Amino acid sequence: MKYLIPFALSVAASLAAPSMARADGPGRPAGDAMTETARALYDQAEQAWKDKKWDECRAKTAAAWAVKQHPQIAGLMGECEAHLGLYRDAAEHLTIRLENDVGLPPDLRQELAKLLDEAKRHVATVTIEVNAGGATVNVDGRTVGTSPITAAQFLDPGDHRFEAVLDGKTVSHVAAFAAGRSTAIPLAFTEQGDGASALPRWPGFLMIGFGVGGIAAGGVLAALSNQRSSDSVSVTQEIVGSAGCDDPTNAAACTRYNDLRRQRAQFANASMGTFIAGGALFLVGAIYTPIALTRKPAEGPTAGFTPLPGGGVLFVSGSF
């Protein structure tokens, strides 16, 4: 979360009460930089710092910070938090002091930088990369700003959830982090074309395949029907006499003839049915497949391993 410290000193105030470098204490902010309430709390926190009463120091600086978000208050709070082992908070507040106090004396800057480096060894440093501007970015349910997020996030080791919300769409990412590591987390919104629901492609290919198979099978059955018709014509030549099938001597030939005619009809009916079914499947598949191919797949949750520093960790991400 990038902290912007809206803070202005008048020229007269700056000349009358310049900021003091720390000798044996953190250093008191300039006279008009904070309200009297915040200044009084800061003085109490500074005394607690000198007495090494870290809990009291943190409590007083937190109260002063609530009144006036001044970088010197953040710096003193970060020092106390580092002594208390609250490394995530210490890293955050020390960064505010170092990045926003341009008048920080070099020796004090060096000392605070060492404290910040020590705090970072106990936390994960994460940068959040969102491919769209203006998205609300949340970490573990806490809003940290609006994309682009330029400042690093300091997180305790373990699992953390990241979300970006824009125009009713949410992209999320869950990952585990180790202490002392720096990692970039991507949160990418994917374009969905015209917003129509995506269609699976396999039904179209399946229908075309069955359609071609049905047409081919209809052709085979038609050929069999024609063969039975031809065979039945040949059998009629074996039927002699004017009595035809009423003559007992023609019983065997007539039986064969009737069987062939029945088979011809069965094959003809089956051929017609498979031709119609196969043609219908092929037609529907031919219409469906181009539509499915032009629709972008709907984005949904995905799961896999992401190669974060220190080894792969399981993550789940997606858009809903």
Confirm whether 197 is domain-assigned: no
Q: What percent of the chain has pLDDT over 70?
A: 77
CA dihedral of 29, 76, 115, 126, whole degrees rounded to 10: -100
Contact predicate 127/185, CB 8 Å: yes
Same domain, 106 and 16: yes
CATH code of 67's domain: 1.25.40.10
Peptide bond into 309 cis (omega under 30): no
On whether the CB atoms of residues 307 and 298 are closer than 8 A, the answer is no
CA distance 95 to 101: 10
Structure confidence at residue 241 as a pLDDT band (50, 70, 90): low
- Would strands 182-187 and 124-130 be described as parallel, antiparallel, or unpaired? parallel
Same domain, 23 and 79: yes
Residues 75 and 63 in one domain: yes
Q: Whole domain around residue 20: which residue ranges?
A: 11-120
Query: In this structure, what token pair is assigned to residue 52?
Result: 């090494």
Q: Of 291, 312, 44, whose CA–CA distance to 176 is shortest?
A: 312
130 pLDDT band, cuts 50/70/90, is very high
Based on the domain organization, do 18 and 111 belong to the same domain?
yes
Nearest-10 crossing angle of helices 54-67, 36-50: 160
pLDDT in tens, 179-203: 999 999 999 888 654 445 567 888 8
Measured CA to CA, the distance from residue 67 to residue 89 in angstroms comes to: 18
Specify whether 233 is located in the same domain as 115. no
DSSP 8-state code for residue 247? S
pTM of the model: 0.54
Summarize pLDDT for 153-165 with one digit per residue, the tens: 999 999 999 999 9
Per the CB < 8 A criterion, the answer to whether 80 and 50 are in contact is no
Q: Are 49 and 80 in contact (CB under 8 A)?
A: yes
Statement to judge: residues 15 and 39 lie in one domain: yes
Average pLDDT for 78-102:
92
Contact 132, 168 (CB under 8 A): no
Is it the case that residue 244 has pLDDT exceeding 80?
no
What DSSP string describes 169-219? EEEEEEEEE-TT-EEEEEE-----TTSPPP--SHHHHHHHHHHHHHHHHHH
Same domain for 130 and 111: no
Question: Would 25 be classed as within a structural domain?
Answer: yes
215 and 263 share one domain: yes
Residue 166 lies in a domain: yes
Q: What is the total count of domains within the chain?
A: 3
Spatial contact of 307 and 170, defined as CB atoms under 8 Å apart: no
Q: What is the per-residue pLDDT for 7?
A: 31
Clarify whether residues 77 and 135 are in a common domain. Answer: no
- Spatial distance between the Cα atoms of 310 and 298, rounded to a whole number of angstroms: 33
The answer to whether residue 5 is domain-embedded is no
254 and 288 belong to one structural domain: yes
- 114 lies in the same domain as 139: no
Beta carbons of 132 and 189 less than 8 angstroms apart: yes
If you average pLDDT over every residue of the chain, what do you get? 80
In a domain, 136, yes or no: yes
Q: Is residue 133 part of a domain?
A: yes
Has residue 315 got a pLDDT over 90?
no
Residue 15 lies in a domain: yes
